[in-house]
């Protein structure tokens, strides 16, 4: 996507899930129904259990949500063990159930397709912007700053959901545009100061380790889907961003 001519201020690059939009209700809605398609005998609550929210920061791909949902119905489920060894937990679970990532992903996408086709407005209602975020995004223009979205979702999906919240970013980059460091490298060629706002510490650390992105200011949002210890001992170049700091003028950001 071609950007407009640069303004005099920084270009703020926001992640989508966990930074601008809270999609936890949708994650559970879709993951629960996909798990039930694969195993109708599962006993899963309508509302997301606390254990699902605690595991969400560790989930990297959509199919993992379905697997986690199914495992929550297992007798004797050990949350602390899953948190301590998430990758091993997933590997054991998928082997025990004789499922495949492809089958899990297809079940998830089928649930989402059905939900959107049946009642699109109800589907959008499962997502909500984090408090104060839309207002702050709309006020950035007064500080000569522009903002865009960089997400692992599809760009069209993110753009449509942002429009439902009356938010129009300068651009939206989705998974089809490449990895986040790759997109940031292209944006850096414009010569504008880049500020990257994200809720996954490993993503921020990957950006900091990418040659050519040393000058990007990185922010880890405190309200996102943070994993255990994500706030602790942040390396240089990554600052924790609290809601009150988000609301403050850019000159006062950490």
pLDDT for 111-157, tens place per residue? 988 998 999 889 889 999 999 999 999 999 999 999 999 998 878 88
Note the pTM of the prediction, 2 decimals.
0.84
Relative to beta strand 194-198, strand 238-241 is unpaired
What is the full DSSP assignment across 23-43?
A: -HHHHHHHHHHHHHHH-TT--
**What gap in Å lies between CA 161 and CA 168, rounded to an integer?**
10
pLDDT at residue 1 above 90? no
In a 13 Å sphere around the CA of 162, the CA atoms on its Cβ side amount to 30
The tens digit of pLDDT for each residue in 194-242 reads 999 999 999 999 999 999 999 999 999 999 899 878 999 999 999 999 9
Distance of CA 220 to the CA centre of its chain: 12
DSSP, residue by residue, 132-197: THHHHHHHGGGGT-EEEEE-SS-HHHHHHHHHHTT---S-EE-GGG--HHHHHHHHHTT---EEEE
How confident is the model at residue 52, as a pLDDT?
A: 96
**What domains lie within the chain, and their CATH numbers?**
11-22+129-252 (3.40.50.1000), 24-125 (no CATH)
């Amino acid at each position: 996507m071609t950007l407009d001519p640069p303004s005099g201020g920084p270009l703020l690059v926001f992640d989508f899930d966990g930074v601008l939009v809270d999609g936890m209700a949708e994650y559970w809605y879709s993951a629960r129904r996909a798990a039930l398609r694969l195993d109708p005998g599962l006993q899963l609550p309508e509302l997301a259990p606390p254990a699902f929210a605690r595991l969400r920061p560790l989930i990297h791909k959509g199919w993992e949500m379905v697997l986690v949902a199914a495992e929550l119905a297992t007798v004797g489920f050990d949350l602390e063990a899953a948190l301590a060894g998430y990758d091993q937990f997933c590997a054991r679970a998928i082997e025990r159930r004789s499922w495949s990532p492809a089958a899990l992903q297809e079940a998830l996408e089928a649930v989402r397709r059905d939900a959107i086709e049946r009642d699109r407005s109800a589907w959008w209602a499962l997502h909500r912007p984090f408090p104060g975020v839309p207002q702050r995004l709309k006020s950035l223009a007064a500080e000569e700053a522009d903002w865009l979205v960089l997400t692992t979702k599809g760009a069209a999906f993110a753009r449509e959901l942002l429009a439902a919240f009356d938010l129009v970013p300068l651009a939206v980059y989705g998974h089809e545009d490449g990895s986040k460091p790759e997109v940031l490298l292209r944006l850096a060629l414009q010569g504008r100061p880049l500020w990257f706002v994200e809720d996954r510490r490993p993503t921020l650390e990957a950006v900091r380790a990418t040659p050519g992105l040393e000058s990007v200011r990185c922010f880890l949002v405190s309200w996102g889907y943070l994993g255990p210890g994500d706030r602790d001992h942040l390396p240089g170049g990554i600052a924790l961003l609290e809601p009150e700091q988000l609301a403050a003028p850019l000159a006062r950001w950490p």
